[in-house]
Chain A
């Protein structure tokens, strides 16, 4: 249970990190809190030549707030969000999601950017931030670009990041005061990675109604216009089960039990949002 030998670098700035990430002569992995990568390294499933620790880069712990958005550096931890050490623009939605990730010891090191870049389908942020319509901010040799979180993951552990590109932050749009949010995940053991996730945001003031079925074994299933889920009825009413099932089947989720569990999570997320 010891990793293979690797070299370790801890750059002080973004440019140095991106330069190391772009090295073609070695297998290079970025590491932040290492709460997902660490187990893989210990099991020797991942055998890098060079580990680039990005947690000394001050820019990646930044918090920028504008009138309508919040930008969190990628090295902000789940516990930072849970405890309110960073501002919240989501009416408590992100704090609640953060508090439900794994265990406190993991949340004290695991980061929001690391979770997204790792692209585990069962992790929380990829589903929650997809539902919130967040943007991932990415830096590479060619400068900065943005990727919608909902299209960041391309498959299990695979993201749209190019080799050498580093996820440096996420931008979360401010929800209206009247926005409703629901998030429900199914785990057999508290704190384990989810078996199914439902996430739902209804923010009529901004004209946004989104839903996500997550922990699908691959990319999250995103309903950019979740109003369509309600079969012509008002958002928050009964979900058109056939519509959801067809969407899941088209997403590669053919098993009836799997569909049932995911549907139940979505239904509970919607109920949670419209309960108050």
Chain B
């Protein structure tokens, strides 16, 4: 716990808060000021907007401790505010709300806009308010209400204030608090994930549709038969895939394993099972698997189809068709273009490791997790031929 002191609606308050408590929870839970609403809680919807040091801030992605000493204004603080009064009257007149959930955030963003906007241009208002989502009104009433307040104030000779008069530099709310030292002892290391017995992958693929599909191919400088034999040993294959490992009988049709992925600050460790089918006639195979990352409660299910094609010069082209579905917070966050880059990097590293193993130049230690910055992407870039890359269902960031 840390003691957080700041000013809310002109009143100095002090309360104990964990460092992870965001400003919205601090306002609501420790001060019972429940006018500030939480919608998405990851900075998309704008419902939690409050003023910090006089300018709007998303209180769900701003930690209370980071605002030590700052001056916060919530919707309750607009009770006697002149612009607040004008906005409430305009919202009422224009039917600018229905359920009211977004309204506190709308009022805070609108107040800032009324202070700063040079005129009541509808397009500019829509752009400026685009970070506040309303699912009831269709925005027409909200925009009209804000337009009327701006137009009225400018007509009364009240000029716009650029930047809402802010003079300090840096993130709003920062720069007031004392230095805080880290605790002397090393923080507790996050508890190790306990591996559970993985569920069998028994569902039929017949009616399963992946959310995202992509195809890639790479060339290995070894004959088809050698590559085919190598692919029979799941354990050896897993060693080549950065972050992957399997346990138990690695020549069996069903294997259990895990896959650890590190992308910048994000780490995920999927524990799961896979079922492998191979067709020696067509030198092709299917790997279907599912796994769960218990830290983020995300789950994935996917199918990799591969086919080995002999090249003229004794080399083998490995064609991959990957389809997967991701659910949970990782899916909520992920954007398919980012997945493409990660997949490319994984496959590049995999191809390089397979080549090294088949040439007998690689150690048998498992490849470390994917760490893009350290991958020698360029070595293989020419050999990796991107055949197809579909962009499906990209999400807001």
Do the two chains belong together in a single complex?
yes
Q: Which residues of A contact B (CB under 8 A)?
A: 1-12, 16, 20, 23, 25-27, 29, 31-53, 55-56, 60-61, 63, 73, 75-77, 79-80, 83-86, 102-106, 108-111, 118-122, 154-160, 189-193, 195, 215-218, 252-255, 257-258
Verify A76–B337 contact, CB threshold 8 A: no
Question: When A29-B265, A192-B396 are in contact, do A45 and B296 touch as well, CB less than 8 Å?
Answer: yes
Closest approach, in angstroms, between the C-beta of A195 and any C-beta of chain B? Answer: 7
Question: When A38-B43, A109-B172, A217-B341 are in contact, do A43 and B387 touch as well, CB less than 8 Å?
Answer: no
Closest approach, in angstroms, between the C-beta of B23 and any C-beta of chain A? Answer: 11
Interface contacts beyond A35-B43, A42-B22, A76-B170: sample of 12 additional A-B pairs, CB < 8 Å, sorted by A = A3-B20, A5-B18, A5-B19, A7-B187, A31-B66, A32-B171, A42-B41, A46-B266, A53-B65, A75-B169, A79-B172, A157-B263
> Chain A contacts of B61 at CB under 8 A?
34-35, 38-39, 42
Report the Cα distance A1→B329, complex, angstroms. 9
Verify B43–A80 contact, CB threshold 8 A: no
Q: How many residues of B contact A (CB 8 A)?
A: 91
Question: 17 A-B Cβ contacts within 8 A?
Answer: A4-B190, A6-B19, A6-B20, A10-B65, A16-B179, A36-B397, A38-B60, A44-B295, A45-B268, A48-B265, A56-B175, A77-B172, A102-B131, A106-B131, A108-B55, A252-B340, A255-B390
Determine if B93 is an interface residue (Cβ-Cβ < 8 Å): no
Verify A109–B62 contact, CB threshold 8 A: yes
Verify B66–A53 contact, CB threshold 8 A: yes
Determine if B33 is an interface residue (Cβ-Cβ < 8 Å): no
A/B pair count, beta carbons within 8 Å? 271
Verify A8–B163 contact, CB threshold 8 A: no
4 nearest CB pairs, A to B: A157-B264, A103-B131, A38-B61, A8-B19
Question: When A32-B171, A34-B66, A45-B330 are in contact, do A156 and B43 touch as well, CB less than 8 Å?
Answer: no
Determine if B206 is an interface residue (Cβ-Cβ < 8 Å): no
Closest approach, in angstroms, between the C-beta of B335 and any C-beta of chain A? Answer: 8
Q: Which residues of B contact A (CB under 8 A)?
A: 2, 18-20, 22, 25, 41-44, 46, 49, 52, 55-58, 60-63, 65-66, 109, 112-113, 126-128, 130-132, 162-163, 166-167, 169-175, 177-183, 186-190, 263-268, 295-297, 329-330, 332-333, 335, 337-338, 340-342, 344-345, 371-373, 375, 377, 381, 386-391, 394, 396-397
> Chain A contacts of B56 at CB under 8 A?
104-105, 108
> Chain A contacts of B163 at CB under 8 A?
79, 83-85
Verify A155–B341 contact, CB threshold 8 A: yes
> Chain B contacts of A159 at CB under 8 A?
373
Closest approach, in angstroms, between the C-beta of B16 and any C-beta of chain A? Answer: 13
Verify B42–A56 contact, CB threshold 8 A: no
Verify B171–A33 contact, CB threshold 8 A: yes
